[in-house]
Structure 1
Amino acid sequence: MEFLDLVKNRYSCRKFCDKNVEEEKLLQILEAGRLAPTAMNHQPLKIFVVKSAQSLEKLRGITRMAYNAPVVLMVCYDKDLCYRALNYNDEHECGDMDASIVTTTMMMQATELGLNTLWARGFNAVEIARGFELPENLKVSCLLDVGYADPIEGGPSPRHPVRKEMGELVEEL
């Protein structure tokens, strides 16, 4: 599949079927995340694979953003390891951006493998960190729900194909 077709076909799935994600596909998704770029190549990420019934139940008790996906990748960054841009009088910590790049890379790999995903950040990260007893240096950045879409209810939102025109987004200076 051409990359732009992959981007056009990917959508946020909010209803997954019961089919498990094959281990070899999950490993490919995680490898894509491992290879994704990060600021100054610091690689401050930690990805927790949530797929046991007990862990999924715990996560779903904290946030609805896990939906019914058979696998949820909890993407965190280590605030002590992430690159901090301290020059240019514009201090900026790159952990969330690194996590977003890694998550997007994994999301696109999952799509290429015929899986569906939901990239989520509508949750209380502190509650998730507390619920999973994560160390204080790890910050939960986002969740990536992974699985196969329910054939009846798992399709894209009606908002999915709505896009601004290029001229509304891009301007040459």
Structure 2
Amino acid sequence: MPDLWIYVHVGINSVVFVLAVVAVAIAVVNMHSMGVPWEGHMKEMHHVAGLSLLMIVSFQAANGFLRPPREFVDGVPSPTDGGVGFGVGGVPTLRSRMDAFAFRPTLRGLWRLVHKSTGLLVFGLGAYQVRGGLGLYAGRYGAPDYGDAFVWYVCWLVGVVGFAKFWTVWSRRKSEPNFSE
């Protein structure tokens, strides 16, 4: 049975896909009523990035359904496809967990590389898109530009997630029987 995280991952990505479609639809409908009448579609980098983001998010959502099946060796999930390898007594080993993050020349490994890279691209382009939108709004309507605060928030968020990942790996490694400090 799949872990809970995959359901959370699919749920969040489904919401992101729907919000991206809604955001682009709202932008296209309201494009001519936003300030300068001669300004049309795709005149700002923000517009091009938004359309690109919609296409990449659509690819990522479809790519999630195209995942190749897991590879098994002797009935055990292979570390080459992201499964957990097993050591003495059936206990998952850290080395096999770390191998799950390495690229393997298999179809599943290639899929994982593309899926993770595209996910990071979506995160980065989304952060750029929000920053650009805040800047355009501030410039058009004379509002304060909170773009820098948003960039700091994104940096803080990346730092928290990075620290949590480091802490998880470190505490797992520390709990191994042959760990020496």
TM-score by length of 1: 0.26
Select the structure of larger CA radius of gyration: 2
- The structure in which a higher percent of residues are helix is 2
* Structure number with higher relative contact order (C-alpha < 8 Å, ≥ 6 residues apart): 1
- The structure in which a higher percent of residues are strand is 1
TM-score by length of 2: 0.25
